[in-house]
Amino acid sequence: MSDLITIGGLQPFTMIDYPKKISAVVFLQGCNLRCRYCYNTSLLCSENDKSSVISFESLVSFLEKRRGFLEAVVFSGGEPCLQRGLQEAMSVIKDMGYKIGLHTNGFFADAVIEIINNNAADFIAIDFKAPFNRYQEITGYSINKEKYSYLADLLVNSEISYEYRTTVHNGILSENDLFEMADWLIAHRVENYALQEYKHGNSFDQNLPNLPGLYLSNMLYNKFDKNISNFIIRSDSDANYRELAA
C-alpha cells in the first residue's frame, strides 16, 4: 500500500479546499504543466524523481486518528490524475468514511471522466486557465478543447458537486480573455465558478511582476454574476475590483 501514490505534501487541516467540510489536502507529486504563475514549484518534478514526504500507509493511519474531526480528503497537486494509483487511493480513503475531493488541471479528461463514472469523488474542482488558444503560452501545453468541453458537460450534468476556477494574474489574462472564458462557461451551463487572485512568491516564471488584485469592469463582473449562479472572487489583497464592479 505504501507506494500507491507519491505524496509531495500534506495539509492536515483546511476549511477552504472542500465546500463546507473540514478537510485535509494531499498534494500528489508531479505536474504535466508549467503555469507561469505556479507557486507549487516543488511539486512539479515527476513522482519518479522524488520520494513521498509521507507514505500512503502513514496517511491512512493519520486519517484513522482524525476520524470524526476531518470530514473530507482532497487530492490535489501537482496534477493528481498523473498518478496511476489515484483511484485506488481514493477508494481506500472513501471506504474509511471520508468525502473525496479532487483538484485537477483538466488535462487528463479521460481520467476525470472515469472518476465521475465510478463515483469515486464527491467534489471536483477543475482549472480553467485561459482561452483555449492561449493555453500553450500560459501553461506550456495546448489542451484538447473538445475533450475538456465533453468533460464539462458530463460533470455539470452529474450529481457530483464541482467548481471551475481561474487564477488571474493581471499581466497574463486580459479582460477580453475573461469575456471569452465567460462565454464558454455560460455555453456549458457551468454554475459554480471562482476567479482567484494569483499568489506572488516563488512563481515558476521568476520574471512575473507582482500585480496583485483582481480588476474587473462592471460589464465583465455583471456578465459573470448574472449568468453563473455561484460566481465568487477569492482575493487576499485590498483589490479595488469591488469599486469597479459596484
Distance CA 2, CA 4 (A): 6
Q: How far is the CB of 132 from ligand SF4 (least distance, A)?
A: 16
**Smallest separation (angstroms) from ligand SF4 to the CB of 142:** 14
Cell numbers describing residue 166? 481561474
Smallest gap from Cβ 140 to ligand SF4, in A, equals 8
The reply on whether position 163 binds ligand SF4 by CB under 6 A is no
Range 56-74 burial, b when 16+ CB lie within 10 A, else e:
beebbeebeebeeebbbbb
Report helix angle 56-65 to 86-95, nearest 10: 20
Yes or no: say if 203 and 182 are a contact pair by the CB < 8 Å rule.
no
172 near ligand SF4, rule: CB under 6 A: no
- Are 73 and 98 in contact, with CB atoms under 8 Å apart? yes
Contacts of 176 (CB under 8 A, 6+ apart): none
We find the least distance from the C-beta atom of residue 172 to ligand SF4, in angstroms, to be 12
Candidate residues 4, 24, 31, 216; the one interacting with ligand SF4 per rule CB under 6 A = 31
CA angle 72, 77, 83 (to 5 degrees): 95
Grid coordinates representing 167 are 487564477
User: According to the binding rule CB under 6 A, does residue 40 interact with ligand SF4?
Assistant: yes
Mode of pairing for the β-strands spanning 161-168 and 123-127 = parallel
Of residues 95 through 154, those in contact with ligand SF4 by CB under 6 A are 105
Residue 42 in the binding site for ligand SF4 (CB under 6 A): no
- Identify the residue among 52, 70, 75, 78 touching ligand SF4 (CB under 6 A): 78
Q: How far apart are CA 72 and CA 105, in angstroms?
A: 20
- Interface residue with ligand SF4 among 8, 9, 77, 101 (CB under 6 A) is 77
In sequence order, the β-bridge partners of residue 164 are: 126, 193
Residue 168 interacting with ligand SF4 (CB under 6 A): no
- The smaller minimum CB distance to ligand SF4, of residues 57 and 137, is found at 137
Out of 34, 66, 165, 200, the only residue in the binding site for ligand SF4 (CB under 6 A) is 34
**Candidates 29-37, 83-91, 109-117, 118-126; binding stretch for ligand SF4 (CB under 6 A):** 29-37
Residue 33 in the binding site for ligand SF4 (CB under 6 A): yes
Which cell numbers hold the place of 146?
473538445
CB of 240 to ligand SF4, least distance (A): 25
User: Checking phi first, is residue 114 left (phi over 0); if not, alpha (psi -120 to 50) or beta?
Assistant: alpha
CB of 213 to ligand SF4, least distance (A): 19
**35 belongs to the binding site for ligand SF4 (CB under 6 A):** yes
Which residues sit at the interface with ligand SF4, rule CB under 6 A? 31, 33-35, 38, 40, 43-44, 77-79, 105
